[in-house]
Amino acid sequence: MPLISVNPATEAVEAEYQYQTDDTLDGLLTQAAESGRDWRAAGVEERAVHLTAVAAMLRERKSQLAELMAAEMGKPRNQGEAEAEKCAWACEHFAGHGAGFLEPDRLAAGARKTYVDYQPLGVILAIMPWNFPLWQVFRFGVGALMAGNTAIVKHAPNVTGCALAVEALFLAAGLPPGVVRCARATNAQTAGMIADPRVRAVTFTGSCATGRIIAAQAGEALKKCVLELGGSDPYVVLEDADISRAARICADSRCVNSGQSCIAAKRFIAVESVYAAFEEAFLAEMAGKQLGFPAENPDLGPLARKDLRETLDRQVRESAAKGARVLMGGQIPERPGWWYPPTALTDVTPGQPAFHEELFGPVATLFRARDENEAAALANATSFGLGAAVFTQDVERGEAFARGKLDAGSCFVNASVQSDPRMPFGGIKDSGYGRELGLLGAREFTNAKTVYVAE
């Protein structure tokens, strides 16, 4: 069965690709392992030069890359170009700071010299999703490559064209063949690569269900594993918040990437005294979001696949049947393509899919809380823990709330949750473990080797 890329705006088949044979995949692993020896020996300065070249290539090709993302997963063109720019920024950040991130840590341990040296693990198998076909690769890749690792990247089947473009980009930038290769592998072949001794670690971004499978396979093989799974990020609006600003940021975050982002805002919790004002302002912001073809640079494009829209529609309908109230949207448009309108629900309670499950599309859930303590309890009443935010005009209060009351890997005050090359990124609970980006991301796929030199 071939890999098929279908345009989500038109349902037209864009391209078909074939899975690679076992022998071909074996060759990729051999090449990655062999290239790794030279890549490691090149040193951080030379690797920084290569990452800088990749950044230039990303900017040179950003229009073509955005067009490809639009065709394969429906991303608006301007958002696709911004994604390429963000990847370039990450390359440049790690090219400029990677050497410092990887400097040995000197220790005082009663010896002539003691330090921790950060050395690459080897080949990293990266199993990547479709929603950010470029950024997901670079989010883990800039740190892993700067540290001296090589990578085999297995993309989601519906963005195979993007996967091939990523591989071609690294080669065009002058990286040695084998440092980054993309694999078109079945689930069974992927499991085989996880077990292969040439692969030294695994990273996966995607659903919790698949994450558990990947983690079990990596554990069986005694391989380090990093997981970035789902999210149901809560945004808390306290009584002293700037309501118009909070509503704008919340709506923008709910609709980023057509709502198909693990760290998109999904649950909105406002305290009683400002709930009505926030609901009115938020619904007005959501109503202003335009649905359109990717080339038109709309606020929202189509959802990436038919099954994703079916799941989202089921979650909304089942929640409504169990008592949730649909404030806006909730109806599939009668047109070709996998469109779904901006939607908002309230009266969401335990037992409804909208309360417990991640809503991967432009569907918001609104909650009313008596006070900030109940707001914090509602925010944390989820199995996920990727990101969270709080809005208040008392910045010190917001910082204390974010630091002390929100359970998530990233907590923001008066801003939407976002990944940034300068900051570690990752989750807790069912949102996974491990960190990408920043200092921790640079060291995530390294052997923290203790070296002790006696007198």
d(CA 14, CA 384): 35
264: number of CA atoms within 13 Å, CB side? 23
Q: Classify 134 as helix, strand or coil.
A: coil
Our measurement of the distance from residue 59's CA atom to the centroid of its chain's CA atoms, rounded to an integer in Å, reads 21
Alpha-carbon separation of residue 308 from 58, 88, 117, 224 (angstroms): 29, 30, 44, 30
Q: Which of 143, 235, 169 is nearest to 444 (CA)?
A: 143
262 is catalytic: yes
User: If we measure between CA atoms, which residue out of 137, 228, 272 comes closest to residue 431?
Assistant: 228
Dist CA 214 CA 62 (whole Å): 32
* DSSP conformation class of 21: P
Query: What is the helix (H) or strand (E) element at residue 200, kind and residue range?
Result: strand 199-205
Q: Determine the Cα angle at 381 with ends 375 and 382, to 5°.
A: 135
Say which residues have a Cβ less than 8 Å from residue 186's Cβ, sequence separation at least 6: 19
Q: In angstroms, rounded to a whole number, what is the distance separating the alpha carbons of residues 258 and 298?
A: 10
Which one of the listed residues 72, 81, 167, 228 is annotated catalytic? 228
Question: Catalytic pick from 167, 262, 279, 357?
Answer: 262
| Cα distance between residue 312 and residue 253, in whole Å | 18
| Whole-number Å distance between alpha carbons of 124 and 218 | 12
Q: Among this protein's residues, is 228 annotated catalytic? A: yes
Three-state DSSP state, 209: helix
Write the DSSP symbol of residue 258: G
Q: Is 194 helix (H, G, I), strand (E, B) or coil?
A: helix
Distance of CA 190 to the CA centre of its chain: 20
- Which active-site residues does the annotation give? 228, 262
